[in-house]
Amino acid sequence: MKDNCKDCSVKDFVFADLYCQGCKHKPKVSGLVSIYRKNKLHPADSIYIEAAEDEVFLAAAHELLQQYRLEFVPGEVKEISELIFNEIG
């Protein structure tokens, strides 16, 4: 437990994780996060993040999605989409 948490009134509360999400005293970690396509050796993209140690994956997903755009393709072109995906994948 961190010194800053000794006097915290929330630390022993059953929902402490929810109430402590914005706490400035939470330990932070930083590092490189890479996203890989299945069965591929090299990463599709990498980013450097700094986040609370219990929110690393959420922060990484958020930062990666900031760099990409998702698009919906209607069902009529499903076969074409699958063909293209199989060709490039």
- Enumerate the domain spans of the chain: 24-88
Model-wide pTM > 0.85: no
- pLDDT at residue 48, as a whole number: 92
pLDDT per position as a tens digit, 33-84: 998 988 889 998 999 998 877 788 888 989 988 888 877 767 667 777 777 8
pLDDT per position as a tens digit, 10-47: 766 767 667 676 677 777 889 999 989 888 899 989 99
| Mean pLDDT, range 3-14, rounded to an integer | 71
- pLDDT at residue 42, as a whole number: 93
Sign of CA pseudo-dihedral 86, 38, 48, 58? positive
